[in-house]
Structure 1
C-alpha cells in the first residue's frame, strides 16, 4: 500500500503512469496536466528530478550533471521554457574554449587567437595542411579521421579533434565511422568557422548548434526548471513519486496492465490505462513480465552505453577562468571537460569568493577509474587540475564524485537492427510509448527529449504522432525519410 492523492488504496488505476522524471517524462506529465489528465510519475532517484538535466547540491553549492544550455530551433520548446520560468531564465553569452598546452583557444575558432596561441610556424603548417587536402582530399572517407581531415586539414584535426574524441568515446579516432562525424559536425568546416568568425552568424533557422553564441539558463541550474514543472503538475492532482524503482512491467501480450515498483522499501503495484517510459530501453525490456521472446531479450541485453563520472571540487579562489566550460585536449590527462558552474550562473555558488568546478571523465563502469574509491578519484582530479596549471592543490576545500551510468547510448554496428527488433515488439502494446534519450536509445539533447514527451502526451489525448520521426532539432517530420540516420544523432561506430 502507498499513500497517493491523499488516500490509502490497495489498488489504484491512473489514467497515465510515467516511468522517469527526466525532461521527457516530466514534459509529458506537464502537457497532460494542462488538459486535466492526471498522471503518476515514478522516479528511481530518491531526491532529485530532471534526469541527466538535474541540478544537485553539495555543501550549499549547486552543480549540474554536465552543462545544459537552453537553446532549441523548436520555437514551441523555447516558449515552454519561457512559460515555466519567465524572467528567472538568464540570457548567457557563451564562452567555452579549448584548453591545449596550457593555453586557451577560442571556440568557435577565431583566427587571430589561434595564430597567437599556436605560433607562426604551427599556424603555417595548419594552413598548408588545409590547402593540401583541398587539392588532394582523402577519396574514400571511411573514418572520423578521414572526414575531419578533409574539412580541417590533418594538422588541425590532430590538435583539436583527435584527443578529445578519443577521450569521450574510448575508441581510436581512425576506427570511428565517418558517418558519425558527418552527422555530429554536419555543416561545419574550417571554411564555415572562418565565415562565422569574420562575417558573423547566419539567421536563426540556419545556425549550426555547435556555433551558437547565446543561450538561456535557469538562474539556479536546469534542475530549477524541472523542480518547477514537478510543483505545477502536483498542483493539478498528479504526483511524482521519488525513490521508486520499476521492478517489473506486467502485461498480457497486448497491453501493459501495471508496474511493480520498489518504493520506500515496499513493493507496490500501479495500474494504468496508458504508460510512458523513459527508463533505459534495455532495462525496460528486461523488466517485462512475462519475458519477451529470446530474440527481443537478447537484442535489449546487447545494447551498449557510455558511462561518465563528474568530480565536483570547491575551490577557495574567486576566479579561475571565465568560461562556462572548457574542453581539455591535452592527452597527458584523462579529464575531458571542466564545468565552471559560477560562470553559468552566479547563483550556483554559496560564496562569491569561491568557485565550484565539475571535472568530467568519460569512461565505462568496467574501467579502473570508475571503480576506484571516491577519495582516490578526487585525488586524481586535483592532480590533473594542478598539472594543467589551473589551481594549486592547497586551494581545494572539498570534493564529491557522482557516477552516471548509461549516460550516452552507443550505436555500434548492430545497433539499428537491435533497436528495430525492440521497436517491432513494442508495437504490440497499444498503451505503451517510449520517450527520451535512454527511453528510445537515441543520443539527443534536452529539447529533443522534451518533444518526445510532449507528443507522447498528445497521442494519449488523441494524436497520432510517430515519436521516432522527431529529428535532432526537436522538429517533427511529417514524412519519414528512408535513411540510416533518420531522426538520429549518431554516436561513434567502430569500423571493421
Structure 2
C-alpha cells in the first residue's frame, strides 16, 4: 500500500455487523471500509426481499435494544414517524430502571408520504396450539387456564411449584434450564417439541448456555411480574430497558422492512468514500506474523487480492478457518469443521382472505388477527412460525386488501424440505396451513420461496470446544470476528451491531478490546455497559 493512500479495513459480510462497522469507520475516522458481500442483496438475514411489491422480512426483526447507543443509531438513520401533537407529542421511554418522555416532532416524516421513516409498532405474538391461540409469552392468566382446562392447569401449577423447591442442579442441558424456570409439565406442553422443531435435536442435547443467552430472566415468576406491571400501565414504553426481550410490547420498524435501513446505511457509507461490493465472495485469507495480510476474493470479473490493514469478519467461522493460509492447526480446524447450523426457509403466500380469524381481508387483519408472529405448535406439521407482514408494516404489502403471510421452516441444508422444488414446497406449505385451519387453498393468489443457509449458529456439534477456535483467532492482531456467524453466537441484530461498534472503538482508541467483544450478550443487559460506564 502506498503511504499516500488511506488505510483500509476489509469487512466480510454486508449484514448488520459488517455495515455497522463500515458506517462507524467512515463517519469517525479516515479509514476506508471495503465491504465484501457474497450475495447480490444486502442485510444478511436482516434483509428485505421484494416480491412484486410485497416485501418479506426473513425471520422478523423488531428494532428494539437495551442499548441507548443502538437505539439512537437507528433513529439517526431513519427518523421516527411524526405524530399529531394531540395524539402523542411525546413517547414514553423506560431504561436503566428510570422512565422519561422524549419529544416526537409532530412535523416529522409522515409514513403516508415519506419512505425514509421508522414506524412505531405494537408487538403481538401468540401460540397456535390445539386449534386455539394462546398468549406469547404464556401468561398464567385465567384465560390461559381456561384454554388449557382444569386438569392440565393443576398439573402445570403443581409441577412449577415442585420445581421451584427441587431444582435440577447442575443445569447441564436446555431441558434442565427450561424445567427449572417453567416446571416439567409446562415444558413438556409448550417447549419440548417446538424447540426440537426449531433446532432439529432434543432439548437434552442442547447446552443450557443457549437458554442463558437467549432466554435469560424469562420465567413464570417474570411473566407474573410483567402481567402486574401491564395492569398498572407501565409496560408500553418504547425503550423498556428492564423488560426481557421476549416481553417487549412496542418496537420500532422501518416502513419497508429491515433491509430498507441497511440499504440506506450502505448508501451513506459509499457517499462518504467507502465501498460496498456485492457478489464478492472471499475464498482465502493469507496471514503472516500474527497479522492478516491479504484477502482473496472471487468477483463477477475474476479473482482479486486485497491487501489488509484491518479485517472484520462476519462470515461463518468454519469458512474463515477453512480459508486461512497457512492453514490453522489441525485441532482448530477439527472444531471449526464440526460447528453446526440450522438453516431456514420462508414461503410467502399472498392471500385473498385468511380463514383464521374468520375470512379476514388485509384491511381487516390487524383488528381481527393483530399478530406479528404466530408460533405453530400443532402436531403433525413442520411449519414453525407464521409472519403476517401486514402487521409489521402495512406498507410491506402492495395491495392493502391482500393478506401477506410468511411460513417459516427450520431445516438443514440438503434435507427433504430444502431440496424440494419451489412449486412442491409451495404445495406442501399450503396443505399444512389448510390442515390446521389457517387458510383455504383457493385463497392463495401468489407465492415466493426463499432459502437462507446458516441462519442460526447451533450450540451443539463441536461447540463445547469452541474456545479453542476463539483463542486461536485472538492471535491475529488485526482480525475482528463480529456478528452472528462471525462469532458463531446466536446474537440478535443489536448484539451484532454492538460487536462492530466495540471493534471500531478499539481501533480508534488504540485499546485491545477483542476480549470484551466476545462478552457481548453473554450476561444480563448484553454486557452493554463497560464497568467505567463509558458506553453505550
Q: So what's the TM-score if we normalise by structure 2?
A: 0.82
The alpha-carbon deviation at position 397 of structure 1 amounts to: 1.6
3-state DSSP of counterpart to 1:24: helix
Of residues 188-197 and 132-141 in structure 1, the stretch that sits farther from structure 2 once superposed is 132-141
Residue of structure 1 in register with 2:31 after alignment = 37
Query: Are 2:345 and 1:345 aligned?
Result: no
**Which residue matches 2:307?**
271
Q: Deviations over 1:299-355 (max 9, x none)?
A: 221211111211111112224532001111112110111111110000100000111
Q: Distance in 1 between matches of 2:187 and 2:266?
A: 44
For residue 91 of structure 1, report the CA deviation from its aligned partner: 1.1
Q: Which residue in 2 is equivalent to 1:96?
A: 125
Partner of 1:27: 20
Question: Secondary structure at the residue paired with 1:461?
Answer: helix
User: In the alignment, what sits opposite 1:492?
Assistant: none
Note closer, same or farther for the CA distance 1:264–1:353 as it changes in structure 2 (3 Å cut).
same
Question: Aligned to 1:164, what secondary structure does the other structure show?
Answer: helix
Question: Which residue of the partner structure matches residue 469 of structure 2?
Answer: 422
C-alpha change, 1:394 and 1:327, in structure 2 (3 Å) is: same
State the distance in 1 between where 2:209 and 2:468 align. Answer: 22
Question: Contact conserved, 2:7 with 2:31, CA < 8 A, in 1?
Answer: no
Instruction: Confirm or deny that 1:62 pairs with 2:55.
Output: yes
Query: 1:109-146 CA distances to partner (integer Å, 9 max, x unpaired)?
Result: 34133133223443333333334444555566554334
CA shift, 1:477, in A, is 6.0
CA distance in 1, matches of 2:212, 2:503: 30
> 1:174-193 counterparts in 2 under 5 A?
174-193=204-223
Instruction: Find the aligned partners of 2:331 and 2:171 in 1 and give their Cα distance.
Output: 34
Paired with 1:450 and 1:270, the residues of 2 have a C-alpha distance of 25
Match of 2:73 in 1: 80
| Cα deviation 1:200-232 (Å, max 9, x = unaligned) | 367944211111111111111111110110011
Cα deviations across residues 394-453 of structure 1 (Å, max 9, x unaligned)? 111222221111111112264242x33223332332222111110111111111100111
Match for residue 475 of structure 1?
527
Render the CA deviation track for 1:165-217: whole Å, top value 9, x for unaligned: 11111112344444433443322222221222233367944211111111111
SS at match of 1:56: strand
What is the aligned partner in structure 1 of residue 97 from structure 2?
none
Partner residue, 1:109: 138
From 376, 379, 383, the equivalent of 2:431 is 383
The answer on whether the counterparts of 2:194 and 2:384 sit within 8 Å (CA) in structure 1 is yes
**In the alignment, is residue 295 of structure 1 matched against residue 336 of structure 2?**
no
Counterpart Cα distance in 1 of 2:26 and 2:54: 32
Corresponding residue number in structure 2 for 1:486: none
Mapping of 1:251-270 within 5 angstroms?
251-270=287-306
Instruction: Tell me whether 442-451 or 284-293 shows the greater mean CA deviation.
Output: 284-293
Of 405-414 and 298-307, deviating more is 405-414
1:334 aligns with 2:328: no
CA distance in structure 2 between the aligned counterparts of 1:429 and 1:314, rounded to whole angstroms: 49
- Structure 1 position 235, deviation (Å): 0.7
8 Å contact kept, 2:336–2:462: no
- 1:293: Cα distance to partner? 2.6
Indicate how the Cα distance of structure 1 residues 126 and 469 shifts in structure 2: closer, same or farther if over 3 A, else same.
closer
> What is the SS of the residue equivalent to 1:198?
helix
User: Secondary structure of the equivalent of 2:11?
Assistant: strand
Out of 501, 506, 510, the position equivalent to 1:459 is 506
- Relative distance call for 1:13 and 1:331 in structure 2 (3 A) is farther
Indicate yes or no: 2:175 matched with 1:123.
no
Cα distance in 2 for partners of 1:478, 1:282 equals 30
Give, in whole Å, the separation in 1 of the partners of 2:44 and 2:402.
27
CA displacement at 1:21 relative to structure 2: 0.7
| Per-residue deviation, residues 234-285 of structure 1 (Å, max 9, x unmatched) | 1101110001111111222432222221111411222232211111111011
Question: For 1:407, which of 420, 441, 455 is the aligned residue?
Answer: 455
CA contact (8 A) 1:163 1:330 kept: no
Aligned to 1:208: 244
User: In 2, are the aligned partners of 1:335 and 1:360 still within 8 Å (CA)?
Assistant: yes
Q: Quote the residue 1:369 is aligned against.
A: 417
- Structure 1 residues 219-228 or 148-157, which shifts more? 148-157
Q: Aligned in 2, Cα 1:281/1:145: closer, same or farther, shift over 3 Å?
A: closer
Partner of 1:233: 269
| C-alpha separation in 2, matches of 1:183 and 1:277 | 22
> Hey, what's the Cα distance between the residues in 1 that align with 2:474 and 2:182?
44
Q: Distance in 2 between matches of 1:463 and 1:207?
A: 35
**Residue 32 of structure 1 contacts residue 38 of structure 1 at CA under 8 Å; is this kept in 2?**
yes
Per the normalisation by structure 1, the TM-score is 0.88
Secondary structure in 2 matching 1:77: helix
Between the two proteins, the alignment pairs up a number of residues equal to 468
Runs of 5+ in structure 1 lacking a partner?
1-8, 480-496
Counterpart CA distance in 2 for 1:108 and 1:422 is: 36
2:486 to 433, 439, 450: 439
